Amino acid sequence: MEFVQGGELFHYVEECRGLDEKETVYIFRQIVAALLYCHRLHIHHRDLKPENILLDRDNAQVKLVDFGMAALQPEGKQLTTACGSPHYAAPEVIRSRPYDGAKADVWSCGVILYVMLTGTTPFNYTSENNIASMYHAIALAEYYMPPELSFAAKDLLRKIFNPRPEKRISMDEIWDHPLLHKYDHEFGYEGELAKKDAWIGPVPKIEQWTVTREEDIDKEIVRNMRTLWHSVPHHVLVQKLLSKQ
């Protein structure tokens, strides 16, 4: 287990009552890069929130944690389980409809970005703790846009908070958005370091796969895989592990 000095991003933002844009971008870029890596492997977190992001306060480096609700979404398929924290859930998730895990993660990222910039969540309970009213606001993407935010920040938030997932900005498009590169020169992100591949690395490859018998498969590995392939039967996972493809 890895120890991260500094605790949760949630506590840091709460103590600071929101972060300035430059610090927000520095942290948010790392979150987006981590999710791009996960999504490339078809793994979707589904419970993104500042409490599940650990921050090393000495160097402002972050790590995503708590993949307990994460799921693997095969290409061409959709997810069906409604999960995650209500304040950070996408409209399609709270409606309990099949959804694209990547676009649901995008929405949650938008809430995290808003929280870092403002110190509060965009969608909240009423004074009577009426969760239905909050869900209504999420479904319609009704929220307050602070006028003091920069044009780039407002533009990105609007593109993320689109209640129609097919119209919502993608994670790759978030990376390319001007807000994420507004401070590249000041951060020293130039040349190769400014490119997306430098942040998410090469596509992982398995070479010389030699497992040909079920008894050679580590049962603990299969159990861990079942946490991502929630709906795939055990024998199907075994067949895939034994496949040369």
Residues designated as active site? 47
Dihedrals phi, psi of 100, to nearest 5 degrees = -85, 115
Residues 222 and 63: their CA atoms lie apart, in Å, by 25
First to last CA, the chain: 32
**What residues does 72 pair with on adjacent strands?**
43
Reading the block at residue 39, the tokens are 């999504």
Asked if residues 58 and 66 have their Cβ atoms less than 8 Å apart, the reply is no
Amino acid at 15: E
Helix, strand or coil, per DSSP, at residue 99:
strand
Reading the block at residue 218, the tokens are 């580590």
DSSP H or E run through 30: helix 21-40
